[in-house]
Amino acid sequence: NARTYRARKRIISVSGKPAATVAGIGKVPLVQFALLSFSDCLGRNLQLYTRSTTTFPLQMVGRSSRVLPTMLLGRFLLKTNTAYTRRDFLEASVLSAAVAVFALFSRAETATSKSSDAPDHHHHLSDDDTATTSGSTFLGLVTTAGYSFCDAFTWTWQSRIYRTHHVDQYTVMLWLNACQMGVLGAFHLLSGGGYAAVAFLSNSENRGCLYQIVNLAFCSAVSQLMALYIIRRFGPVAFTALMSAR
């Protein structure tokens, strides 16, 4: 009606943008940010679990192989006519294989040096130790594949939001973190971890860590803003390659 049109015209005259762009969230369904937040939280938790249960070479193999699932998801999730060629997949495979070979050779050299320095009675593993090592390796492979897929989905879904709804990185950052606060807040309420965190900070001996928390939050915010800009400007595959090169 006429009143709505006049209100919308005033918003455009003040901001220079349409009202939907000013609102930000009005252009993107909230469920898309919730799905993005869930995938990001799941990938972070799997990555933290992988760091404590698997070896560093296996972690490097997982990080280097994230280029391939990102390219595969890009063909199905991104609404674009551009498709990756065989040369693109070949280059991604060579990049992943190079990092994997480097990590595996480093692991082999470390194991050889340790076995040569160790006494004879520590050379042989029992059947229980072998079974435990095999189970841990299998679980590490599963968690590594899980967080690699979650990271690839998160970055590709961000690019999909950019291309479909034409929002900026600030809008994505705002609602991604808002949804993550909701997900993590509900988790802490259900698990009881929120009370333990508040009790930890309430202790006078632990209040010195507030400065470290603020410093970590600032660095994380700057890093996230740069990551969102790179994904918006250059795409998820370029960002994945930069993460592997890191």
> Does the pLDDT value for residue 132 go beyond 50?
no
pLDDT per residue over 69-88, tens digit each? 888 888 777 755 556 778 88
Q: Give the pLDDT confidence score for residue 112 in this predicted structure.
A: 57
Q: Taking CA 200 as the corner, what is the angle to CA 199 and CA 202, rounded to the nearest 5 degrees?
A: 60
Longest C-alpha distance within the chain, in Å? Answer: 89
SS3 call for 20: helix
pLDDT per residue over 188-246, tens digit each? 888 877 788 888 888 878 888 888 999 999 999 999 999 999 999 988 888 888 877 77
The share of the chain scoring above pLDDT 70, in percent, equals 70
CA dist 154 and 232 (Å) reads: 13
Q: Give the pLDDT confidence score for residue 221 in this predicted structure.
A: 93
Q: Give the pLDDT confidence score for residue 123 in this predicted structure.
A: 46
State the amino acid at position 223 in one-letter form: S
> Does the pLDDT value for residue 24 go beyond 80?
no
Residue 79 φ/ψ, nearest 5 degrees: -85, 80
Residue 95's pLDDT band, with cuts at 50, 70 and 90, is confident
What average pLDDT does this structure show over 30-57? 84
6/183: higher pLDDT: 183
Find out whether 27 and 20 touch, Cβ atoms under 8 Å. yes
